[in-house]
Structure 1
Amino acid sequence: MDRSVNLAIVGATGLVGEAIVKLLADRKFPVGELFVLASENGAGAKVAFGGKNLTVGLAESFDFTQVEVAIFAAGAAVSQALAEKAADSGAVVVDLSPAYRYEPDVPLLVSGVNDELLAGARERNLVACADAATVQLTRSLIPLLELGPIADVTVTQLQAASATGKAGVDQLAQQSVRLLNGLAPSEAAQAQIAFNVLPVSGQLQENGYTSEELKLMLETRRILGERVGAVTATVVRVPAFYGHAQSVTVRSIQGVSAGQALALWESQEGLEAGDSEDAQTLSPVASAEGEPCMRISRVREDMEASGYLSYFTVADNVRWGAALNAVEVVEKLIKDYL
């Protein structure tokens, strides 16, 4: 990018917002002026960027005509209240919430998967980013599609507490401290996530799936279209602060070997494939210490040679699945379409 861009981040004091600010600095994003915004609870706080401490402004009263791009990382309610106002002001809104993911005239983006949809960003000045779990699944599937369509996908996701933001991280931390001190996990009527596994994540629906499972299934089908057949998901919550893990089994119509899959994944930027003698290096906790990426391991063909391939992926849902995906979408938007 040869020019600087005025940019606003709505939700700059949240987990994803903080990660976006750090990535902009790490990647030397050509920011002209950065406006960090939040609700009344976060307004007035300080955010470090570019050697300065920026004061967090109130999102509700911000004049979006000052920016070319506005990244919304504050949840669906805030996006529903302010995103179209920002878009009407001329800014292209890149929204990380589920508010617009299912609207047919709003592109649903995963960086490196369907970047061409950014050509329609100006139709409503709105672009939706897929959920971090969808980013993780589709980024592992898209290289395999080079060999042909996939008949079906089955994924079990081990979902970290940070999927629900700072509230989820705080809940896990507080419950852990209480249990380690011999107390009940919570004074409130909350499910115990510390030292536990919850088989239901999100709201249970009439068809037996949860809202988290349907989100992963529907977003994946919308992004990959007819190239992928049935997608079945199970999402369980685990007592990890950061990092989703996905156990995936696919059946390719043309067939794909473990060797072919590894070669395809290794050719992709942001993916690291293959097993390691040190199992710790395959964990999302370890990956958070370095450059954000997705790690793919445990690649194996089924023993009956019936065409199934299974593998395991881990990624930091905040830094990689959400923040980096959004920043890369903005970079490509500015480079090619603004």
Structure 2
Amino acid sequence: MGYRVAVVGATGNVGREMLNILEEVEFPVDEIHAIASRKSIGVEVSFGDRILKCKDVEQFDFSTVDLVLMSVSGTFSKEWAPKIGAAGPIVIDNSSAWRMDPDVPLVVPEVNPDDVEWADRRNIIANPNCSTAQLVVALKPLHDRARIKRVVVSTYQSVSGAGKEGMDELWDQTKGIFVLGPSEPKKFPKQIAFNVIPFIGAFNDDGYTDEEAKMWNETHKMIDPEIALTVTCVRVPVMVGHSESVNIEFHEPLDEDEARDLLRNSPGLIVIDQRNDKGYITPKEAQGEFPVFVSRIRRDPTVEHGLNLWVVADNLRKGAALNAVQIAQLLDERGLIGDR
């Protein structure tokens, strides 16, 4: 016996990846429904060897399913997630709409699995921002051992974080520069091909962007509100895979060898850290993979207890679709999804 599952936003990058991963990990599914907006009715998406035709979210009866994985805009989720949750299924939402709601657990299974136990307050569980997800997987075992005092993060975020339009723009601009001449940016505020853009999201009054604020707010909610965290988010001309340069200051001593061993033995992490010209991970190598990868582990001699890390993950997988499916697996293991 399996579950009745719906994927809302099934035609997007993350929605399609959710369907792929559900099949890949053999999540127990009896029925699967692809749901999208009215304009996408009938659009075909794949689930293993099966082809699903998208159904209209406004006409679908959500009381007929046990679990909903949702990858839609925050505005759409604000309207629909409570309606769907009230109909009975648990909603695992990938948008930013519910992450900081005190009645909605924000979950990365390797970091705070017990928080799924109070999902019944709204029948909604939030997925974190893609950059936050990989960061907290790396920070949690180190914080448990030596208590993190301060973190400085610079992100190098791929264009797939901005959806298919972002990927198309990088591709078109790259071709255009060599063949047709540069084109005007549409999805991004400046040219992304052969460039980096130190701006993601929208500016807040303090000069930080909402993407940067998400990272510290979500880390505080999932790990510890006492951690001082400052972030600069940068869009780079990479198709898939987010990278992060992470500088950590601890309250207690932690040398690089012990940190390396801690990370090697922690769930969801792979350490690739050799001191030669190929002994580290890049986003290209992380593409399509499940784990968070850590490289360049080294002491920071400018503070009493400091380390530097390089953290990389596939943002469509661990940063979004995979984390949602892992939450579903966690709910399954704990018997928290409706009736089998």
TM-score, length-scaled by structure 2: 0.94
Contact 1:198 1:238 in 2 (8 A): yes
Does structure 1 retain, via aligned residues, the 8 Å contact 2:149–2:228?
A: yes
Following superposition, the deviation at residue 77 of structure 1 comes to 2.1
One-letter amino acid of the counterpart of residue 126, structure 2:
A
- Across the aligned residues of Structure 1 and Structure 2, the Cα RMSD in angstroms comes to 1.7
In structure 2, the residue matched to 1:208 is 207
> Cα offset for 1:41?
3.1
Secondary structure, counterpart of 2:19 in structure 1: helix
**In 1, Cα distance between equivalents of 2:302 and 2:155:** 25
Partner of 2:308: 310
- Aligned AA (1:174): D
**Is the contact made by 2:272 and 2:280 (CA closer than 8 Å) also made in structure 1?**
no
Match of 1:177 in 2: 175
Q: Is the 8 A contact 1:176 1:185 kept in 2?
A: no
Check 1:195–1:116 CA distance in 2 against 1; reply closer, same or farther (3 A cut): same
Aligned to 2:160: 162
Aligned to 1:196: 195
Paired AA for residue 75 in structure 1: S
Report the counterpart of residue 297 of structure 1 in structure 2.
295
Aligned twin of 1:285 = 284
Identity value in percent: 35
CA distance in 2, matches of 1:103, 1:305: 35
Question: Residues 128-172 of structure 1, C-alpha deviation per residue, up to 9 Å, x if partnerless?
Answer: 111111111100000102213211111000111111111111111
Contact kept? 1:262, 1:274, Cα under 8 Å: no
Q: In the TM superposition, what whole-angstrom CA distance separates every residue of 1:49-89 from its partner, at most 9, and x where no partner exists?
A: 24221111111221101101111112212212211111110
Cα distance in structure 1, aligned partners of 2:185 and 2:243: 30
On the 8 A contact 1:60/1:82 being kept in 2, the answer is: no
- Give the aligned partner of residue 117 of structure 2: 119
> Residues of 1 paired with 2:273 and 2:178: CA distance?
34
- For 1:191 and 1:60, locate their aligned partners in 2 and report how far apart those are by CA, in whole Å: 36
171-180 vs 87-96, which moves further: 171-180
Q: Secondary structure at the match of 2:40?
A: coil
Contact 2:160 2:167 in 1 (8 A): yes
Mapped partners of 2:215, 2:285: distance in 1: 25
Aligned residues: 334
Partner residue in 2 for 1:270? 268
8 Å Cα contact 2:245-2:309 kept in structure 1: yes
Kept in 1, the 8 Å contact 2:137–2:268? The answer is no
TM-superposed CA distance for 1:325, in Å, is 0.6
Contact 1:47/1:54 (CA < 8 Å) preserved in 2?
yes
Contact 2:94 2:128 in 1 (8 A): yes
**CA-CA distance at 1:287 after TM superposition:** 2.1
Partner of 1:249: 247
Give the Cα–Cα distance (whole angstroms) in 1 for the partners of residues 185 and 332 of structure 2.
Answer: 48
Query: Following TM superposition, by how much is the alpha carbon of 1:184 offset from its aligned partner in structure 2, in angstroms?
Result: 2.4
Structure 1 unaligned segments of length 5 or more: list them: none
2:51 corresponds to: 53
Q: Match for residue 91 of structure 1?
A: 89
* C-alpha distance 261-36 of structure 1, shift in aligned 2 (>3 A): same
**Could you tell me which amino acid in structure 2 is paired with residue 210 of structure 1?**
T
1:16 corresponds to which residue? 14
Secondary structure in structure 2 of the residue aligned to 1:194: coil
Give the equivalent residue in structure 2 for 1:152. 150
